[in-house]
Amino acid sequence: MQKTINLLKKENELKVIDEPLDIYLEISHLAYAEAKKKDGGKALLFRNVIDKKSGTHFEEPVIMNLFGSYKRCELIFGRTIASVADEINNLLHMKPPNDFKGKISMVSDLFWLKDIFPKRLKEEGASQKIKYLDDAVDLYKLPILTTWEQDGGPFITMGQVYTQSLDGDLVNLGMYRLQVYDKNHLGMHWQIHKDASHFFDQYQKVGKKMPVSVAIGGDPLYTWCATAPLPYGVNELLLYGLIAKKSPKLVQSLTTPLFVPQDADYVIEGWVDPSQMKVEGPFGDHTGYYTLQEPYPIMEVSAITMKEKRVFLATVVGKPPLEDKYMGWATEKIFLPLLKTNLPDLLDYHMPENGCFHNLILAKMQPHYKGHAKQFMHAFWGLGQMSFVKHAIFVDEKAPRLDNYEALANFILERFTPKCLFISEGILDALDHSSAESLVGGKLGIDLLAMHKVEAPELLGDEELLLKVQEVLPEAVHLHQFMRRTKNPVTVISIHKTKNVREYFNVLLTLRPYLRIVVFVDEAKNDVFNPYMLIWRVTNNMDALRDIFISDLMVGVDGTNKSLVDGFLRKWPDDVLCTPSVVEELQRKGLWDLDEKSSYKFQLL
């Protein structure tokens, strides 16, 4: 971590903040604003960290937004992301040599692979220089942040969670948020679909306590590897060795059998009793909404060890764009060759950050037969973490680059008809709030491989169309049409909602000569002229089984908050918002320098 900080200073990618700032909201709010700046802003090193509530002044600094730019990601990887993807692709497609010279060449090419395997050291590591055991354990000695006003408490947000199967044969490195309950207990938010949760099931069946070790910091590449969507049973630290071309050096935890990086800044060790659960949350999460309170396992901390000179690594999650945009970009590029082993006709894929990754995926493929895109949809929805994706749009090789949003939207809307829609049902991420029941809900696939005959509507200006809409739908407040030059303009209507949106859609069928795709959003908290946040809102809020309406050439999409008028019985969570008094205090100190235009665009307040 110290080497990374020095490198970022050298590359002008680090901003040092010496003003005393609180672990309660202040530090995280400033990092949140920094991530909204052009190109992700700078990494932030807070050197004067305090806890106003307890009067504590922490010895160590806090670093945030570490991965928050394309440049910083590649600095952390020590190479280009493309080179990693190419290396994996070459390994997957390596062919047997035809002669002795070829064999020698292959041995030379593969010799470096000996360094990808973790190396277990016998001695203690730098991460174990300072030790707190038994009654000396106190999580409040660490500068663990409370990010949002409605959060259930302080959360560790960049923890590398090391676990192993009951028989010890399999190990896993994952990233799960960890709520601090008290001085020696953490909430383990491993969701039901995750590998650590599968291990937990094994311990629960036999009634044994499960060992867990949580590392924080060290080489930042460990942290990215913790997020990597590798198959069940594959050690994520192998990916570290592959990228860094050196063996990760591990030491055994003091009170658990688990091995952790010897150069971590902190290690928190403990045991999870499968017979005990506790309510965890709420927590302002990467969807931009609060995830609600649910019971999760509890980790009783048995030891905390740390470096003498250490840095506490944290991140902030909420509405996009944030640091996970760039971590996700690296994941996309590196895992494309692995995806293509199951889907060889996949040319590229992209998850826009305002679709919060699981809510929207764009995929380009080489079609070979009728129904090929639907085959891809089923494959995507059955592949590991890709199975959480709610909405997938498939285009062919003639489409523009998937990150050229304007050109791609034009390509899509010139070809779209309701026949392109494919609605199914499947598993959802535990963080999804839109479905009628947790963990399962609607999936939407859009097949744009064929060029359909599309009838364009009659065009009206926004004001004229709004008047016509309000004649039949008085609840309509604002209206804006996007992509009017295409055959399928997208009309966004904000409403004061008093009934199910399907009824509003049915009323608008009398205006079908002027409408093709109609998106409904609540008037509160939505700007019909802000496409970035509209995509964020709608992909979060819709369940395809319930919220897509079709009539001839006209399609409706319900992107509103759901309630009893929709037959929705679950609690609808709040948006993640900054606390105004904290922002005002940061402005008073001259630290908050995000312009008002960006603050409004990304709906910070």
Give the list of residues 6+ apart from residue 427 with CB closer than 8 angstroms, or none.
193, 387, 388, 439, 440
pLDDT in tens, 228-251: 888 888 889 999 999 999 999 999
Residue 106 has pLDDT above 60, yes or no: no
Looking at residue 455, its pLDDT comes to 87
Looking at residue 15, its pLDDT comes to 98
Arithmetic mean of pLDDT, 43-63 = 97
Contact 68, 323 (CB under 8 A): yes
pLDDT in tens, 410-432: 999 999 999 999 999 999 988 99
Q: How far apart are CA 500 and CA 547, in angstroms?
A: 10
Give the list of residues 6+ apart from residue 239 with CB closer than 8 angstroms, or none.
225, 228, 230
DSSP conformation letters of 497-536 = --S-HHHHHHHHGGGGGG-SEEEEEESTT--TT-HHHHHH
Phi, psi of 494 (to 5 degrees): -95, 140
Phi, psi of 562 (to 5 degrees): -100, 150
Is-cis flag, bond preceding 418, omega within 30? no
Looking at residue 430, its pLDDT comes to 87
Q: CB neighbours (10 Å) of residue 517?
A: 22
Domain boundaries, the chain: 2-313, 324-447, 462-566
pLDDT in tens, 491-537: 999 999 999 999 999 999 999 999 999 999 999 999 999 999 999 99
Phi, psi of 502 (to 5 degrees): -55, -35
| Radius of gyration of the chain measured on its C-alpha atoms | 25
Contact 444, 423 (CB under 8 A): yes
Residue 575: pLDDT band with limits 50, 70, 90: very high
Contact 489, 483 (CB under 8 A): yes
Phi, psi of 411 (to 5 degrees): -60, -45
Q: How far apart are CA 220 and CA 242, in angstroms?
A: 15
Residue 463 has pLDDT above 90, yes or no: yes
324-447 and 462-566: identical CATH topology: yes
* Helix axes 70-77 and 324-342, enclosed angle (nearest 10): 70
pLDDT in tens, 273-313: 999 999 999 999 999 999 989 999 999 999 999 999 999 99
> Which structure tokens are listed for 175?
């990233």
Q: Which amino acid is at 144?
A: I
Per-residue DSSP letter, 470? H
Cross-strand bridge partners of residue 135: none
Residue 434, CA atoms < 13 Å, CB-side half-sphere = 28
Q: How far apart are CA 486 and CA 117, in angstroms?
A: 53
Looking at residue 451, its pLDDT comes to 77
Residue 191: pLDDT band with limits 50, 70, 90: confident
Q: How far apart are CA 282 and CA 468, in angstroms?
A: 43
Higher pLDDT among residues 115 and 597, named by residue: 597
Report the candidate in 51, 49, 47 with the shortest Cα–Cα distance to residue 5: 47
Q: Which of 20-34, 63-77, 366-380, 545-559 has the lowest mean pLDDT?
A: 366-380
Give the list of residues 6+ apart from residue 552 with CB closer than 8 angstroms, or none.
418, 512
Average pLDDT in the chain: 93
Quickly tell me which residue has 């399928």 as its tokens. 488
Looking at residue 341, its pLDDT comes to 86
Residue 110 has pLDDT above 90, yes or no: no
* CATH 3.30.70.100 at 2-313, yes or no: no
Contact 494, 522 (CB under 8 A): yes
pTM of the model: 0.93
CATH fit for domain 462-566, picks 3.40.1670.10, 3.30.450.20, 1.10.8.50, 3.30.499.10: 3.40.1670.10
Give the DSSP H or E segment for 88. Answer: helix 81-92
Cross-strand bridge partners of residue 303: 133, 269
Residue 330 has pLDDT above 80, yes or no: yes
Cross-strand bridge partners of residue 344: none
Looking at residue 109, its pLDDT comes to 59
Arithmetic mean of pLDDT, 135-158 = 97
Residue 51 has pLDDT above 80, yes or no: yes
Arithmetic mean of pLDDT, 135-150 = 97
Q: CB neighbours (10 Å) of residue 436?
A: 16
Domain 324-447 belongs to what topology?
A: UbiD C-terminal domain-like (3.40.1670)
To the nearest 10°, report the CA torsion of 255, 259, 264, 266: -20
Arithmetic mean of pLDDT, 390-418 = 95
